[in-house]
Chains A and B, each alone.
Chain A
């Protein structure tokens, strides 16, 4: 494993008495693509701004390569940022925007030309030097912002919802391009988004945040398949979350029945939350199912149908390519590996409902 480049230790920041970031601890490794993911107001942007030096933490430390940088102003940090809506300098052309950081460092003219040319090639904007930034499309402006930051060869790049202003198709393209760029230039990306799909697609590591607290840190696969609590399960993808009881290792009871599962390490008869993803439930004939139910709604979603099946007072969401008529009686089945058991936490999340 590569070494840690940034560490956050007991970081806390409040605005007018509300804690935007509440005592978080996190380390970020060199060359990692890490994403801070959460709903708006979860503290992800505040965390990013503290790393960039635009907000001062109330308490706690930010370490950069082991050195405390709390009191270092942004212009002395070896970190660059892609801001929401890019914040390009509209009174300068593309070349001057990218040259801004290099001019401050008094880079010789020929070296500056060479590096800017290289950057424009990287972001596929060759020949755009003299263009006015206002004349560029959203995607092109985005690329200029990336070039403007990367030309300074920062060790860490912060990206604050960089694709939020783009349309869906362009967003998907830019996701791939950003991932390629990160691999090519070999620098650490810290990415902020509220789009869970984007986070799962792009990241090496996802940090799920809510109410200023880190809920879970893990690889996209871990986060999706093994959500640590109700909030993560609910926020990442669609979920059926049921209350249950862990009878013993590998045996859980919910919906009035006992099911085999792959989870262990809980206390006997411990109350738990059970997650089953909509795509993990199969619809069968009524008599073949583990559970029985009635289809209450069917919506065509393009790739699949989204069906709601009521069984024993709970509505299961199911994603399937086979359509069932509304009102038909069906059976539901799933395997032990489709059942994810989570510790029940009495948290803010539950209080909010």
Chain B
């Protein structure tokens, strides 16, 4: 009995530690008073102010477009890459998978600076395109990692069975292999979208004048002093990412169950 109480207190402290800053942030986004540490009553005006700020609207637009495009492109590339890797010999598979893990483990700052160096060295002007390319780049490994398990689960004769029944290799891919691994593909796409919305460091180094995403806007606003509208914007971003994460987790927990 005592053990259980201690356990509960312990887990309570952990959650408090993890979520207290976020909680404070959310509460202050509804604070009427401009000063921190003083509660001036409930308001939604900071949210309203956000949507009247053209810079923020533009950043919201870029964030969404980059997340959408980069998740789509990286899902297509990553899915076909995963199918290729799945069909490789044991040795080649190991090498490619380790190469695939490297960008995942690489610190964002290194990836960001490296990409910037690359773009500058080939004389590309930093802007929307370079930001999109860098997002596609860091998303691909995650897509591969979420598609591969589905391929492994698939009966290894599945594609052969389609060929056996008269399907050309292309038809078998379209009608059998892709639908069979679709849950992994969708999870990969959602993950890519989330990571893209989430990214600050890599975007910061690889974007140019006029093109900013939400995290960059928050960063530059914060340098000029914390305004309550930052809290509101951060709350919105937090909720978006949280919802996406919930969806991903629910899909992964469902495991083998398939989308209808």
Contacts and interface: CB of A to CB of B under 8 A. Distances in A.
B121 interface: no
A88 B157 CA distance: 9
Classify chain A: how many residues form its interface, as a range.
Answer: 20 to 34
Interface stretch (B125-133, B134-142, B176-184): B176-184
Contacts of A100: 162, 165, 167, 175
Given A83-B157, A85-B155, A52 B180 contact: no
Nearest to A54: B160
Contacts of A148: 165
Interface in A76-90: 79-81, 83-90
A351 interface: no
Contact of B258 (A86, A90, A101, A152): A90
Nearest to B163: A74
A342 to B, nearest CB: 38
Contacts of A81: 160-161, 164
Interface in B240-260: 256, 258
A43 to B, nearest CB: 18
B23 interface: no
B33 interface: no
B168 A75 contact: yes
A104 B160 contact: no
Interface in B186-244: none
Between B157, B167, B179, B258, the greatest number of chain A beta carbons within 10 A of the residue's beta carbon is seen for B157
A105 B171 CA distance: 12
A134 B168 CA distance: 25
A91 B258 contact: yes
A41 interface: no
Between A74, A81, A88, A152, the greatest number of chain B beta carbons within 10 A of the residue's beta carbon is seen for A74
Interface string A62-98: 0000000000011100011101111111110000000
Interface of A: 52-54, 73-75, 79-81, 83-91, 100-101, 104-105, 134, 148-149, 152
